[in-house]
Amino acid sequence: MRTTGSRGLRLLAFVGTAALLGTGLSACGDSSGSGDGDTLVFGASAEPKVLDGAFVSDGESMRVVRQIFEGLVTTAPGKTDVQPRLAESWTSSADGRTWTFTLRDGVRFSDGTPLDAKAVCANFDRWYHFTGVRQSPSVSYYWSTVFGGFAKNEDASLPKSLYSSCAPGSGRVAVIELTRPSAAFLSALTLPSFSIASPAALEKYKADEVSGQEQSPRFTGTFGTEHPIGTGPYVLRSWERGNQLVLERNESYWGQRARIKNVVVKAIPDGGARLQSLLSGGIDGYDLVDPADVKTLEDKGLQLLDRPAFNIGYVGLNQSTPLLKNLKVRQAIAHAIDRERLVKNNYPEGTLVAQEFMPPGVFGYADDVVKYEYDPAEARRLLAQAGVTSPKIEFWYPTDVSRPYLPDPAAVYQLVKGDLEKVGFSVQARSAPWTPEYLDSVQSGKAQMYLLGWAADFGDPDNFIGTFFQKSMPEWGFRNPELAGMLDRAEATTEQDERIAAYEAANRKIMELLPGVPFVHTRQSLAFRSEVRGFVPSPVQNEDFATVTLTTK
Amino acid sequence: MRPARPARAVRPTCPARSERPPSHGGGTVLRFVARRLAQLVPILLGLSLLLFFWVRSLPGGPAAALLGERATPEKVAQINRLYGMDRPLWEQYLDFLGRALRLDLGVSRMTERPVTEELLSRFPATVELAIVAIVFAVGIGVPLGYLAARRHLTWVDNLAVAGSLVGVAIPVFFLGFLLKYLFAVRLGWLPPDGRQSPRLFVDHPTGFYVLDGLLRGDPASSWDALRHLVLPGIALGTIPLAIITRITRASVLDVLHKDYVRTAEAKGLTRTLVSRRHVLRNALLPVLTVTGLQVGLLLSGAVLTETVFAFPGVGSFLVDAIAARDYAVIQGFILVIAVIVVTVNLLVDAGYGLIDPRVRLR
């Protein structure tokens, strides 16, 4: 027995030593240290889906598309103002239906072909002539959102297209005709979905080739996965799905060349995992910092960059419910909620309390909307006036989710619930996982009162209040032709001063109608190592890696 | 009186198994395998039916999940019409079955890529991870279990039993988080996530990163990939390690008390020889069975481990697919995992003949 025992102990010692040695050896073999001035590793929250701008609507695909492609116009760094990119200037006709873009001279796609008016029109015509699965809102979301329909709509629910035609004028001039006036058109063109791709590459790499059965179509071309050819400051070096995507500097870029040679985009879906990766030097920066991690990042001396608030969080009130159809009840709810406390307790420092359905940075924001101050006595008085005694309400909040405007839905729910109960409401909790149950319940009009929000895609009021109220939606449960008409006219006006006035009026009207209680505009943060410089956060996430530098340790 | 001939006179009973391949002749083995494969057909058919209706009974649908806040009833209806999701369920099921028989698992609505392609590109990651986890579990579990049995009721045994209890009880995601925090964030010994250091720009033709490095003649990148496998491998392998330790210990204890072991020892055979020929060989049969069963557990554990370590394998993709109600991916992935689990168990059964001569003789 003795022999066995000592052998056993030796075995145990061997296992332990091997384990220690293993980790020790791995430490010696670490070759992935940070500080390579030629490569920036960025932690994204998901993998891009595809790198063809026409087919993307998710932030992570758009982030990469923005580095490889450029549109006719873009937003100013850190702002939402429209400024030139591939078009050096543009004019619109008095009726707002004809837009003439003059292109920058001497720009070439990374495959060497020239950017000219023909190439621009080829792109617009490509999008307009999408058929089959390419008309799906899950595929060409922004085309259908901005332009409505296609040359030949294959679904009865699609409206007539806003786009009519594009004519290449002399060399550098492209003339785009719309079927009706739209001022939001120009702001929408800042989206990466409308970036200009090389027509030669689109054809060569079969960007639009779809195969498979009717109910199970699949894209077979390699344009969006292997050969995305644009004019941007970076080109795709490699993309190994599931691992990482590598961008390389476009050495023949027409403008200021990118400072960093390689940008690696690595998907780390979990926010906590992104934080740990930054702390351990695995990545140089990441997006969508969890507000709870801000202190840790600051304590460790890492940089936090804030995006200007460009979203809205609100308590939705569905007027298809008899109780909420009553304006006085809705006003009572607005007065009952202590929004200052709600924001102070649940959001990071610097978060704005919302007064209307769009943030102050967007033109058309009205300072003089009806404000609903926290006043429980007034709330009780309004309920009494409405003749409602002990009102019962179902209040929905999502689980398993953290949105920029709703980092902790359950906590927000608890505070609002408490406020409502103080003035006499009896609140019944309803919760569901964010997607798809919760969104499904809200969007189908099933939820009476709910927490929701919106992060806009481009800097135009149409993308906030136009999205919410231009068409009647089940989640609001009301139809107001006057408001819809105001928003239609505001969208069509091309005179900027008139648009501002029109949207201000619409905002005043909305807050009188009180379809919900807006309560927050949050900032989103990105975190970087202190060596990373030159990254400019954009409210619409139009962020360029080309200006970033990385100082070596 | 002549003593009875040791060892041979004793016919130890085999550990209970539901079915084992009679191995005296290639034809019989083939028949056994063929019968088992034939049994697979109704299993998979039933599973596909359950899966198909289960994923569709989840509230919401892929359209709403894809569009998020941006979903409007019109857009949701348009997507449903376009992808035939408004057709009767039985029609959709027959369609799915017809395609699955041709090894076409459909197209992922999340990525618009064929499910088989998604599977093939992500499977190597999970396989590498599972191999490391099983090597870790068997490599430590078997010696530890053996040692605990040999040192029965000593501190070594108590430690192994207590450790295996903790190992079974600890949630995988918590252990993963703990390991990562300690070894990646605090000590910086090992990488926190992923499969390869992002600054190593290397190609991966086979998708098995460790193998790819060796094939390219670049052991440094294989080493880098291995280092990425250590923490998730330990996290994933801990529960199997605990189970294997316990089974080995129990099995060795059982065998140690058998007459043939005592007889072998009485014959004057060395302890090593007795251990190798008589104890371990017999005791490892249930361990092999349990290890085979762990494969299913490993694949389900991979879902959590891969999420914690941002490890881009099948598990993390399945999590995304469930959130996105990507029916084709959920069905395809689970079906393939089912085939793997059944196949591994078949291999375990077939492998019995290799380590158990009694089975071969029957």
pLDDT in tens, B226-251: 999 999 999 999 999 999 999 999 99
pLDDT in tens, A348-388: 877 999 999 999 988 899 999 999 999 999 999 999 999 99
* CB-CB under 8 Å, B99 with A155: no
Q: What is the pLDDT of residue B29?
A: 67
Q: Give the distance from residue B145's alpha carbon to the nearest chain A alpha carbon, in angstroms.
A: 11
Using an 8 Å Cβ cutoff, are A118 and A126 in contact? no
Q: What is the pLDDT of residue B5?
A: 41
Query: Which residues of B are less than 8 Å from A221 in CB distance?
Result: none
Q: What is the pLDDT of residue A449?
A: 97
Q: Please tell me whether residue A153 adopts helix, strand or coil conformation.
A: coil
**Of residues B358 and B96, more confidently modeled:** B96
**For chains A and B, what is the number of CB pairs under 8 angstroms?**
222
Q: How far apart are CA A192 and CA A199, in angstroms?
A: 16
Report the chain A residue with the minimal C-alpha distance to residue B152.
A5
Using an 8 Å Cβ cutoff, are A491 and A270 in contact? no
Query: Mean pLDDT of all residues in chain B?
Result: 82
Q: Which of B116, B181, B156, B38 is nearest to B328 (CA)?
A: B116
Report the chain A residue with the minimal C-alpha distance to residue B325.
A436
* CB-CB under 8 Å, B67 with A243: no
**Of residues A387 and B276, more confidently modeled:** A387
Query: Which residues of A are less than 8 Å from B74 in CB distance?
Result: 157
**Of residues A478 and B37, more confidently modeled:** A478
Using an 8 Å Cβ cutoff, are A35 and A530 in contact? no
For A329-340, what is the mean pLDDT?
A: 97
Q: Which of B89, B110, B136, B201 to mutate to test the interface with A (most CBs of A within 10 A)?
A: B201
Q: What is the pLDDT of residue A63?
A: 95
Q: How far apart are CA A29 and CA B133, in angstroms?
A: 21
Q: What is the pLDDT of residue B358?
A: 65
Which of A241, A264, A268 lies closest to B193 in CB terms? Answer: A268
ipTM of the complex model: 0.76
Q: What is the pLDDT of residue B237?
A: 93
* CB-CB under 8 Å, B59 with A283: no
Q: Give the distance from residue A353's alpha carbon to the nearest chain B alpha carbon, in angstroms.
A: 21
Query: Which residues of A are less than 8 Å from B112 in CB distance?
Result: 49-50, 55, 139, 218-219
Query: Which residues of A are less than 8 Å from B152 in CB distance?
Result: none
Q: What is the pLDDT of residue A108?
A: 97
Report the chain A residue with the minimal C-alpha distance to residue B194.
A243
Q: What is the pTM for the complete model shown?
A: 0.81
Structure tokens belonging to residue B328: 């084709």
Q: What is the pLDDT of residue B7?
A: 38
> Which pLDDT band, with edges at 50, 70 and 90, does B1 fall under?
very low
Q: What is the pLDDT of residue A354?
A: 96
**Of residues A213 and B40, more confidently modeled:** B40
Q: How far apart are CA B106 and CA A334, in angstroms?
A: 48
Q: What is the pLDDT of residue B360?
A: 54
Report the chain A residue with the minimal C-alpha distance to residue B323.
A435
Q: How far apart are CA B122 and CA B103, in angstroms?
A: 17
> Which span out of A13-22, A326-335, A392-401 was modeled with the highest average pLDDT?
A326-335
Is pLDDT above 90 for B43?
Answer: no
pLDDT in tens, A39-48: 999 999 888 8
Q: Please tell me whether residue B258 adopts helix, strand or coil conformation.
A: coil
Which of A46, A218, A454 lies closest to B112 in CB terms? Answer: A218
Q: How far apart are CA A423 and CA A449, in angstroms?
A: 16
Using an 8 Å Cβ cutoff, are A504 and A497 in contact? no
Q: What is the pLDDT of residue B13?
A: 38
Q: Give the distance from residue B243's alpha carbon to the nearest chain A alpha carbon, in angstroms.
A: 18
Q: Please tell me whether residue A353 adopts helix, strand or coil conformation.
A: strand
* CB-CB under 8 Å, B201 with A238: yes
Cα dihedral sign, B25-B31-B32-B34: positive
Query: Mean pLDDT of all residues in chain A?
Result: 88
**Of residues A33 and B91, more confidently modeled:** B91
Q: Give the distance from residue A276's alpha carbon to the nearest chain B alpha carbon, in angstroms.
A: 6
* CB-CB under 8 Å, B195 with A432: no
Q: What is the pLDDT of residue A216?
A: 66
**Of residues B127 and B109, more confidently modeled:** B127
Give the least confident one: A122-126, A176-180, A258-262, A267-271: A267-271
Q: Containing H/E element for A154?
A: none
Q: What is the pLDDT of residue A184?
A: 81
Structure tokens belonging to residue B260: 């043939």
Which of A216, A246, A435 lies closest to B201 in CB terms? Answer: A246
For A331-342, what is the mean pLDDT?
A: 96
Q: How far apart are CA A153 and CA A130, in angstroms?
A: 9
* Distance from chain centroid for Cα A394: 29
Q: What is the pLDDT of residue B59?
A: 67
Q: Which of A271, A367, A360 is nearest to A311 (CA)?
A: A360
pLDDT in tens, A519-537: 999 988 899 999 999 999 9
**Of residues A115 and B54, more confidently modeled:** A115
Q: Which of B56, B58, B70 to mutate to test the interface with A (most CBs of A within 10 A)?
A: B70
Give the least confident one: A129-143, B173-187, B283-297: B283-297
**Of residues B160 and A217, more confidently modeled:** B160
For A261-278, what is the mean pLDDT?
A: 91
Is pLDDT above 70 for A12?
Answer: no
Report the chain B residue with the minimal C-alpha distance to residue A455.
B69
**Of residues B38 and B70, more confidently modeled:** B38
Query: Which residues of A are less than 8 Å from B125 in CB distance?
Result: 242
Report the chain B residue with the minimal C-alpha distance to residue A280.
B185
For B14-41, what is the mean pLDDT?
A: 62
> Which phi and psi (to 5°) does residue B344 adopt?
-65, -40
B137 touches chain A (CB under 8 A): no
Q: Give the distance from residue A25's alpha carbon to the nearest chain B alpha carbon, in angstroms.
A: 9
B151 touches chain A (CB under 8 A): yes
Q: Which of A4, A20, A146, A241 to mutate to test the interface with B (most CBs of B within 10 A)?
A: A241
Q: How far is CA B150 from CA A305, A451, B143, B252, in A?
A: 60, 62, 10, 8
> Which span out of A103-112, B104-113, B289-298, B328-337 was modeled with the highest average pLDDT?
A103-112
pLDDT in tens, A465-504: 988 998 888 899 999 999 999 999 998 887 888 999 999 9
Q: How far apart are CA A29 and CA A531, in angstroms?
A: 24
Q: How far apart are CA B216 and CA A122, in angstroms?
A: 43
Is pLDDT above 70 for B105?
Answer: yes
B67 touches chain A (CB under 8 A): yes
* CB-CB under 8 Å, B309 with A439: no
For A208-216, what is the mean pLDDT?
A: 73
Is pLDDT above 70 for B3?
Answer: no
**Of residues A377 and B48, more confidently modeled:** A377
Residues recorded for chain B: 362
Query: Which residues of B are less than 8 Å from A268 in CB distance?
Result: 193-194, 310
Using an 8 Å Cβ cutoff, are A160 and A148 in contact? yes
Which of B71, B122, B323 lies closest to A443 in CB terms? Answer: B71
Q: What is the pLDDT of residue A435?
A: 66
Which of B121, B156, B320 lies closest to A241 in CB terms? Answer: B121
Q: Which of residues 228-267 of B touch A (CB under 8 A)?
A: 230
Q: What is the pLDDT of residue B17?
A: 42
Q: How far apart are CA B144 and CA B163, in angstroms?
A: 11
Query: Which residues of B are less than 8 Å from A454 in CB distance?
Result: 69
Report the chain A residue with the minimal C-alpha distance to residue B123.
A242
**Of residues A294 and A124, more confidently modeled:** A124
Report the chain B residue with the minimal C-alpha distance to residue A4.
B150
Which of A5, A262, A471 lies closest to B151 in CB terms? Answer: A5
**Of residues B348 and A342, more confidently modeled:** A342
> Which pLDDT band, with edges at 50, 70 and 90, does B349 fall under?
confident
Residues 6+ apart with CB under 8 A from A190: A71, A73, A74, A75, A82, A458, A459, A540, A542
For A439-464, what is the mean pLDDT?
A: 88
